[in-house]
Chains A and B, each alone.
Chain A
């Protein structure tokens, strides 16, 4: 307590300022807050998907009770073609299941930790307004479930992650995913939507050293990853697993960054983002080449595919793409568009 005292007056001043500021910035949610007593118009079970698939756009326009059930599964999976890793997952894959709800929904959330788990786990959803983002309510021992509910007050694309100590280790083992809170007016219609999430991994062996690799605590603390990956595996989204689109289509990417350490300089080689919801907030930026995604943050980007070919998604801190696996692909099919791009002899 005695450490706090000298700065107490400053703290009070600061909190006063922040209250004033937050009153202003929250005014956009007044609608929702006024409707908190609104009767919910039924129950639905959320569609949950594994990356790169995104749940279908929501087709209702009044608040519902949305039931979400997520399993925590510890399992060995391939991190590269001949390398395995003990992942801790939300739903059996890295990243975790994509959850899609609507602003104003009451989310009824159950976290189940599988009986054969070794450890306790929890979930902090950045979409939650409440203590620990749900982590306080969900410290869950193996074989147990925990249950809480929250109101999706703010629209946006939010990261969720495990918040059990040591948090960094749980995140480094793959415990993160995305929850989309659609605004009340819904998302604008696009032709295709995909789910991509970046994460950095720390193994005792070097990049792609064969066999079962385990988490390296020293490298994690030093922030020296062996792997920087999209969707939890080297070549998860390339070649035959590449994303697809056709010429003339608009593609929206929901991109998260689980971290635990690195900030992503997200870029698509040969494309320009027509639209970026910066940090998945309400501000829209246009004509962007590379956009930053904080660790524990996300972005929503849209691009219209004009020319056929293979487009590489990278973290433009480019050694990560070349040497640590941060590469995914979109294959665009269709007619050439020489007015836009043409290779000349």
Chain B
């Protein structure tokens, strides 16, 4: 019963946002301040030291289809039919009906994270909002915070629980999983998210060195370079990031934006 009420509530939410969308009025995505900290990287770094993450702001949730529609409306070069294939593969916004319509059949996902978007598109969106994508260190730092409104045994177990289930046919709306200690929604359990430096990981080496770092996630022998060998959720996340290219558009990959604090 509670579940049904939640659905009704969410349905109302998207009806409102849908109405707003027609009036071209959008509410800015709330950003939350993530305090400075030391991120202990997944891979052993050359210095062996944690990476300092300065205080920054992060969108409280992933960018939705409705929000992304406003972006492509204002930026014709990012419409389905016009986008440059170098910047987004043929799956770009695959489920949208047309350039400027998510489509009536997709009304359940108006308020779900936009997926099938490339790194370039995500970065362009953030830039349009005067923001940027979070770095891996920032994202991990923010994502590692404990959930505050669900019962769970460990965050790793919770995340693995999501990984172990196949994708749902309809992606749920934002804010349907959990909220963490910083107030962020859905950092795990809804989608994967693009990060600014998704395939260079946490290396301060040159690009050739980075390529080698990537392979560490794939080879069993490389596991000696993993700091916490029981962090299976981290393993899967870094492997996933390592398999990406900037123009990939994937069914469970979306994004949220970050902003530095001047």
Q: Assuming A132-B215, A141-B250, A143-B91, is B166 touching A116 (CB within 8 A)?
A: yes
Beta-carbon contact of B242 and A139 below 8 Å: yes
CB nearest neighbor in A for B169: A116
Beta-carbon contact of B167 and A143 below 8 Å: no
| Chain A nearest Cβ from B89, distance in angstroms | 8
A209 contacts chain B at the CB level, 8 A cutoff: no
Bound complex: CA of A217 vs CA of B234, how far in Å? 13
| Chain B nearest Cβ from A228, distance in angstroms | 20
Bound complex: CA of A144 vs CA of B248, how far in Å? 8
User: Given the complex, which residues of A lie within 8 Å of B248, measured CB to CB?
Assistant: 141, 143-144
User: Given the complex, which residues of B lie within 8 Å of A76, measured CB to CB?
Assistant: 166
Which of the residues B232, B251, B253 comes within 8 Å of A169, measured between beta carbons? B232
Bound complex: CA of A76 vs CA of B168, how far in Å? 12
What is the 8 Å Cβ interface bit string for chain B, positions 207-240, against chain A (1 contact, 0 not)? 0000000110111101100100010100110111
Which of the residues A140, A141, A217 comes within 8 Å of B160, measured between beta carbons? A217
Beta-carbon contact of A163 and B240 below 8 Å: no
A115 contacts chain B at the CB level, 8 A cutoff: yes
Beta-carbon contact of A118 and B219 below 8 Å: no
Which of the residues B164, B215, B230, B243 comes within 8 Å of A140, measured between beta carbons? B243
Beta-carbon contact of B166 and A139 below 8 Å: no
Beta-carbon contact of B166 and A75 below 8 Å: yes
Instruction: Identify 24 residue pairs between A and B in the complex whose beta-carbon atoms are under 8 Å apart, listed by A's number.
Output: A74-B166, A86-B165, A115-B250, A116-B166, A117-B167, A118-B162, A122-B218, A132-B218, A136-B215, A139-B239, A141-B243, A141-B248, A141-B250, A142-B251, A143-B91, A163-B219, A164-B218, A164-B243, A165-B223, A165-B226, A165-B238, A165-B239, A166-B223, A214-B164
B71 contacts chain A at the CB level, 8 A cutoff: no
Beta-carbon contact of B218 and A135 below 8 Å: yes
User: Given the complex, which residues of A lie within 8 Å of B50, measured CB to CB?
Assistant: none
Bound complex: CA of A120 vs CA of B253, how far in Å? 12
State the A residues within 8 Å of B (CB). Answer: 74-76, 86, 115-120, 122, 132, 135-136, 139-144, 163-167, 169, 214-215, 217, 221
| Chain A nearest Cβ from B252, distance in angstroms | 6
B244 contacts chain A at the CB level, 8 A cutoff: yes
Beta-carbon contact of B217 and A164 below 8 Å: yes
Bound complex: CA of A167 vs CA of B221, how far in Å? 10
With most chain B CB atoms within 10 A of its CB, the pick from A120, A139, A169, A217 is A120
CB nearest neighbor in A for B248: A141
With most chain A CB atoms within 10 A of its CB, the pick from B162, B217, B226 is B217
User: Given the complex, which residues of A lie within 8 Å of B220, measured CB to CB?
Assistant: 163, 167
| Chain B nearest Cβ from A2, distance in angstroms | 12
With most chain A CB atoms within 10 A of its CB, the pick from B164, B215, B248 is B164
B96 contacts chain A at the CB level, 8 A cutoff: no
User: Given the complex, which residues of B lie within 8 Å of A166, measured CB to CB?
Assistant: 223, 232, 235-236, 239
With most chain A CB atoms within 10 A of its CB, the pick from B156, B166, B230, B251 is B166
Bound complex: CA of A118 vs CA of B249, how far in Å? 13
Bound complex: CA of A179 vs CA of B223, how far in Å? 26
Chain B residues numbered 13-58 whose CB sits less than 8 Å from any CB in chain A: none
Which of the residues B91, B215, B239 comes within 8 Å of A119, measured between beta carbons? B239
Bound complex: CA of A122 vs CA of B166, how far in Å? 18
Beta-carbon contact of A119 and B161 below 8 Å: no
